[in-house]
């Protein structure tokens, strides 16, 4: 089965600091997705990456997919309390049929 490992599991940063969350797959990814979940709420789609080496940005969040399409990183610049939540990477692959798998999640706390 497709497995996604996220690191770190949790992160506490001071407001204004930069941070990076990693997502590593045991198999080549077809598509890599990043979602954010606020505590007790639903998932918000952030970005989707499909091509090796692809990089996308939205406001202060940048996501990259490595050339081998097995690792992705999510980078937040100048973090704010509004960035707090759980960040989940998700992926699909032709090898997994139509299942969509999630990573273990990274809990981010931003201290004002």
Closest CA to 87 of 26, 30, 20: 20
> Segment 33-52, which members bind other proteins (CB under 8 A)?
33, 35, 40-45, 48, 50
1 vs 14, beta carbon nearer other proteins: 1
Q: According to the binding rule CB under 8 A, does residue 101 interact with other proteins?
A: yes
- What is the token pair recorded at 11? 């992160």
Nearest approach in angstroms of CB 101 to other proteins is: 7
Nearest approach in angstroms of CB 83 to other proteins is: 18
Residue carrying the six token digits 């940048």:
62
Q: According to the binding rule CB under 8 A, does residue 99 interact with other proteins?
A: yes
CA distance 77 to 88: 18
Nearest approach in angstroms of CB 43 to other proteins is: 4
Q: According to the binding rule CB under 8 A, does residue 7 interact with other proteins?
A: no
Q: According to the binding rule CB under 8 A, does residue 93 interact with other proteins?
A: yes
Return residues touching other proteins (CB under 8 A).
Answer: 30-31, 33, 35, 40-45, 48, 50, 88, 90, 92-94, 97-105
């Amino acid at each position: 089965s497709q497995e996604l490992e996220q690191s770190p599991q949790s992160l506490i940063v001071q407001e204004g600091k930069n941070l990076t969350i990693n997502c590593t797959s045991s198999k080549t990814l077809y598509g890599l997705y990043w979602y954010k979940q606020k505590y007790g709420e639903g998932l918000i789609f952030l970005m989707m990456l499909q091509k090796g080496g692809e990089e996308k940005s939205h406001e202060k969040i940048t996501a990259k997919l490595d050339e081998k399409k097995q690792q992705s990183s999510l980078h937040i610049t100048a973090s704010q309390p509004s960035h707090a939540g759980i960040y989940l990477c998700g992926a699909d692959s032709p090898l997994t049929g139509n299942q969509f798998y999630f990573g273990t999640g990274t809990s981010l706390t931003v201290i004002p």
